[in-house]
Amino acid sequence: MLVVIELPEKLPLLTKFSIMALNRRNFLFLLGATTTAASLGYFSSKASAQPLQLLTGDEESEDSEVFQLPPLPYEYDALEPYIDAETMRFHHDKHHAGYTKKLNAAINKHSELKNMSAEDLLRQIARLPEDIRATIRNNGGGYVNHKMFWEIMSPDGGGEPIGAIATAINSNFGSFDNFKEQFNAAGSSRFGSGWAWLVLSRDGKLKTLNTLNQDSPLMEGMYPIMGNDVWEHAYYLKYRNDRGAYLQQWWNVVNWEEINRRFEQASATV
Ligand code: MN
């Protein structure tokens, strides 16, 4: 679809800039801007105008967005008071969006990889072309880890594990409390940025561990059942330097239904 809008010369610079930066995502924003401009009289028939052709996203572009930023499955403030809305907004809209964008940029350099899932890219990390390997490790990891992270949290979360994962936690760790203690220790002992994990290892056992930066257990042939983000961007606005308090409070939003689904899926592949 092609939209032609007559742009008068006296259109405010900001609006012109918005139109230049137009893509599919901010097209609706543009509609709002043009409506505002029209209501202010900027589109009067007296103004001299140059036609401007705007691409609305249906056209083929050379670079494609193979991976899409998944929307949050709930509102930004849904996990309050344990995770604040501002943290969620920046974490999803800036950090996760950034990983997604850089992952797409790397894949666009190697179109032969476009049919691989992000998870498979991580499983095959050692075999990827060297020029994008580190980028995929960091940003493919960031893409996959955060996709899981939003899903394993819920405003209706918390409480005790359910289903097969509850049984497996008890048999692998002795009790839910022991497991929580080990998981939190994995998170608090991660120096710098990274993740605390519960994984299903290749021998069929559940283990807790932590990884550096955005490294995924998938890179080591393990299946990430659940993970908690211990980068400062995940908690610093609310908890400041107290990672331990964040790790404790996080259990209040843990979505056991989804974690049990991931465990059943992982068990079927071991
Ligand atoms: Mn994060």
C-alpha 210 – ligand 1 centre gap (Å): 14
pTM of this structure: 0.78
pLDDT for position 62: 59
C-alpha 233 – ligand 1 centre gap (Å): 6
C-alpha 65 – ligand 1 centre gap (Å): 21
pLDDT for position 64: 81
C-alpha 59 – ligand 1 centre gap (Å): 33
C-alpha 228 – ligand 1 centre gap (Å): 9
pLDDT digits (tens, 9 = 90+) for 210-246: 999 999 999 999 999 999 999 999 999 999 999 999 9
Q: Provide mean pLDDT across the span 82-105.
A: 98
Higher pLDDT, 129 or 4: 129
Neighbouring residues of the ion ligand 1, judged by CB less than 5 Å:
229, 231
pLDDT digits (tens, 9 = 90+) for 133-150: 999 999 999 999 999 999
C-alpha 146 – ligand 1 centre gap (Å): 6
For residue 81, the one-letter residue type is: P
Share of the chain above pLDDT 70, in %: 77
Between 13-20 and 27-39, two packed helices, what is the crossing angle to 10 degrees?
150
C-alpha 163 – ligand 1 centre gap (Å): 28
C-alpha 203 – ligand 1 centre gap (Å): 29
Q: Distance of CA 67 to CAs 99, 151, 184, Å?
A: 10, 17, 31
pLDDT at residue 15 greater than cutoff 90:
no
C-alpha 52 – ligand 1 centre gap (Å): 40
Average pLDDT, the chain: 84
pLDDT at residue 30 greater than cutoff 90:
no
pLDDT digits (tens, 9 = 90+) for 157-199: 999 999 999 999 999 999 999 999 999 999 999 999 999 999 9
pLDDT digits (tens, 9 = 90+) for 39-85: 333 333 333 334 444 444 443 455 789 999 999 999 999 999 999 99
C-alpha 108 – ligand 1 centre gap (Å): 24
| Residue 161, token pair as written in the block | 């594990």
C-alpha 116 – ligand 1 centre gap (Å): 23
